[in-house]
Amino acid sequence: MTIDWEEINGIIRERSSRSSYMVRPNEMDSADLAKIHFLIDEVLSFPDDQKTVSDSGALLDRHLSQKYRGLDPDNISRLVHLFCYMNK
């Protein structure tokens, strides 16, 4: 499967909440959600086993940066915000 990073980055950027800088999957249409589902699944399944949520978020940031080099750093931050929100 070839990933169109330009399209993925655009979806995340356009569909993120303007006020909280966080990806909001429940506000996406099904076509866009299907294209980024693999990232949402990875965020939601990432272990939260550190002393603080921010430590876990830092690990997720590093993980996404290394695994998905085509993902825009701002979009990585948006996904980390989603992770921290879900695990606070």
Q: For the chain, which residues make up each domain, given as ranges?
A: 5-86
Q: Which of 55, 54, 73 is nearest to 64 (CA)?
A: 73
pLDDT tens, 14-73?
A: 877 665 566 777 777 889 889 989 998 988 888 878 888 888 889 999 999 999 999 999
pLDDT at residue number 46: 87
Contact 85, 22 (CB under 8 A): yes
DSSP structural state of residue 42: H
Least confident of 3-7, 11-15, 25-29, 84-88: 84-88
* Angstrom distances, CA of residue 64 to CA of 8, 17, 30, 54, 58: 14, 20, 23, 15, 10
Q: Record the pTM.
A: 0.83
